[in-house]
A and B are shown apart, each in its own frame.
Chain A
Amino acid sequence: MNRGPFLFLGILATLAFSWVGLIVAGEIQLGHLAPYYDPNEGSVNPYKPAGQAAQGRLVYADLGCAACHTQQVRRPGFGADTERGWGARQSVARDYVYEPRVLLGALRTGPDLRNIGARQTSADWHLLHLYDPQLTSPGTIMPSFRFLFHYRKTEAGQTSPRALKLPADYARQHGLDRPGYELVPTPRAEALVAYLLSLQDTYVYPEARPYTPPKAAAEAK
């Protein structure tokens, strides 16, 4: 241990071993994973998210939503992810092949969002929830994202179809009920909601069939 080169080569070998064993091997196995073509349905999954949803992913990333929300459903029997309705099946590697930035997340200060688009299908619900989470989920510790909204004068007296439908007493309490004014989402808010609505792994791969515990399967027969 007194010779520099010996130490140096040992350290290099150790690091290279770990890199080849975990990263290179992982890349070989998963780095070229293709979407799955279902010959019966004639469909290819997952599909590439496009347009507003793809922009919304950037909003999700830059606001740091992943600091509190995961996007990975654990298998039934390991945690209670499926029982909580966070997904019909576990997430598998193939679900993520088209994501330019995989946002698995590591903390569930808030619930998992992998299938939020299947769970909360209303854009209005999402907009209200982003504007003030207490409106839809009283007692939550999610912060308000009201900086993603504009309180503005209606254009030519016409209320925008995108204006938020705030409960009347909430609007009164917060001074958001001035006649001739409306609360509208910015394009960023709309993109974020489009992204959230696009989050749903409702298709099934051979490797990700919804899991039926052996007991339930036996009873079903």
Chain B
Amino acid sequence: MASTSSSVASLPLPAAGAEARAEASALDASTRAPVLVFFLSGLAWLLAATVLALITSFKLHTPGFLDGAAWLTYGRVQPAALNALVYGWSTNAALAVAFWLMARLSRAPLRCGGALLVAACFWNLGVTLGVIGILAGDSTAAPWLEMPPYATPLLFVAYALIAVWALDTFRSRRPGPVYVSQWYLLAALFCFPWLYSIAQIMVVFDPARGVVQALVNWWYVNNLMTLWFMPLGLAAAYYFIPKVLGKPIHSYYLSTLGFWSLLIFGSWAGPHYLIGGPLPAWLISAGVAASMLLLIPVVVTAINLHLTLLGSFRALRSSPTLRFVVFGGMNFTLACLLGTLVSVRSVSEVTHFTHFAEARVLQGLYGFFAMVMFGAAYYVLPRLLLKEWPSAVLIRLHFWAAALGATLYWVALSVGGWIQGQEMNQAATPFLEVVQHTLPWLFAGSIAWILLAIGHLALAVNVVWMLFAPRPAGATEPTLFPPPAGAPGMVHR
């Protein structure tokens, strides 16, 4: 429930009343088909990515595992898993949440959802072709852009449709303040096509000369995180945390500062991925400086979200959405602080090229982004299907498996990566010995992926169960963790 205050920092929907609820459910209904299709295809990709990531992870410590065929070799399964996770799960889920948020916040129904269904078909066809292409050996070998050039044009067609409809919804918004989540949504929806086109053109279709390719490539990877996944994740966090708690965001001014500083510094931080690489020092220094300055948006956003939550921590006990989103928010802070840390040259000297870097990527992509998307799904899906989640136990299982798995992965690979980096920098330690010493940590990484897989299965079972459960006749009670013992104002998931 939104606050009744007229502050611009509050959510635009007025306080609960029969009329407001009717409006909200009409808006939800307009987004039903596209949001469901994008979310369910995202979920399917999540399961596919989990299988591929499990194979990848096992191969790291047991190289003989499934090593008989080219399409199952580590170098192909690993990018296939990453692309399935980034373009399959994360982007599908992000778009589902973006449509729903855009309609709700603009108080404008999503028109012509049919075009979005076409977009969903194109997008998923593109990603399917891309992932199969990677496994078949058509990878471009450019990090995060491995999908072969015959798959990516489909993504452009899909994205054009998507952006047009999202912007159309924004343009037909009710007059009034534009909420902070909408800024983030607009920024992300606008930036993605530019980032992706520039990267595709300068790396794949008409490759730039020499190391400029690497510069564009890492600029893209960095910006995909800071200008696409982070804004979308934060848009959801800025919506769901106040929504579930029924109070406004702590500070409008902090939100503004956080927004613009994330865009400006985030978009410059890319070259820090190339510290020590064959590029001019000024380029790398610019990236390092921007990475340092990224502390501003991260700290500002963390304070803003934390102060919003302050005094309402009890709600974490009962609301699945809040629990996932807040866990994601904490990981956002952590992943960004780590990003700043590893762009210090003396730290990078150790962590660069090690599993530490890998752990940090998954921390952002999963610990932060995927967790926020899960939280959003627990809030949105019941409103679209007009049914409640069938099992609180499965939600609880999902949360703990995902939270433990993500944390274990991060801790294990960070510690292992740090040791690996230290030893690699001592030329006296033979390389094979360094490799041997990473094995226990890589093994722990596999256990972490098994935990994540359990969580994903729990989510999938719950979603399928919910889809096929009969719709109840009367009003329903939200599925919460413990029955809220008279917690005031807690009507949301």
Which residues on A are within 8 Å of B, measured CB to CB? 1-4, 7-8, 10-12, 14-15, 17-19, 21-23, 25-27, 29-33, 60-68, 70, 72, 74-75, 78-80, 83-84, 90-111, 133, 137-148
Contact = CB atoms under 8 A, between A and B. Distances in A.
Interface string B251-280: 000001000100110011011011011111
A64 B276 contact: no
A139 B198 CA distance: 42
B143 A106 contact: yes
B215 A23 contact: yes
Chain A CB within 10 Å — which of B140, B210, B280, B439 has the most?
Answer: B210
Interface residue tally on B, bucketed by range: 35 or more
29 contacts: A7-B183, A12-B190, A15-B194, A15-B195, A15-B267, A21-B286, A22-B215, A61-B139, A61-B140, A62-B139, A64-B139, A64-B141, A66-B75, A66-B141, A66-B143, A67-B75, A74-B276, A79-B424, A83-B427, A91-B277, A93-B278, A93-B280, A101-B141, A106-B143, A106-B353, A109-B60, A110-B435, A137-B432, A143-B64
Chain B CB within 10 Å — which of A11, A12, A21, A148 has the most?
Answer: A11
Chain A CB within 10 Å — which of B143, B278, B431 has the most?
Answer: B278
Interface stretch (B66-74, B316-324, B365-373): B66-74
Contact of A102 (B178, B210, B223, B426): B210
Contact of B211 (A30, A74, A105): A30
Given A67-B78, A101-B142, A108-B353, A144 B191 contact: no
Contacts of B273: 106
Nearest to A72: B277
A63 B286 contact: no
B354 A63 contact: no
Interface stretch (B38-46, B201-209, B389-397, B404-412): B201-209
A33 B209 contact: yes
B219 A22 contact: yes
B402 to A, nearest CB: 25
Contacts of A66: 75, 141, 143
Chain B CB within 10 Å — which of A1, A19, A75, A137 has the most?
Answer: A1
A75 B352 CA distance: 14
B489 interface: no
Chain B CB within 10 Å — which of A10, A32, A138 has the most?
Answer: A10
Nearest to B74: A143
Task: State the 4 A-B residue pairs at the shortest beta-carbon distance, nearest first.
Answer: A64-B75, A83-B427, A61-B141, A18-B267
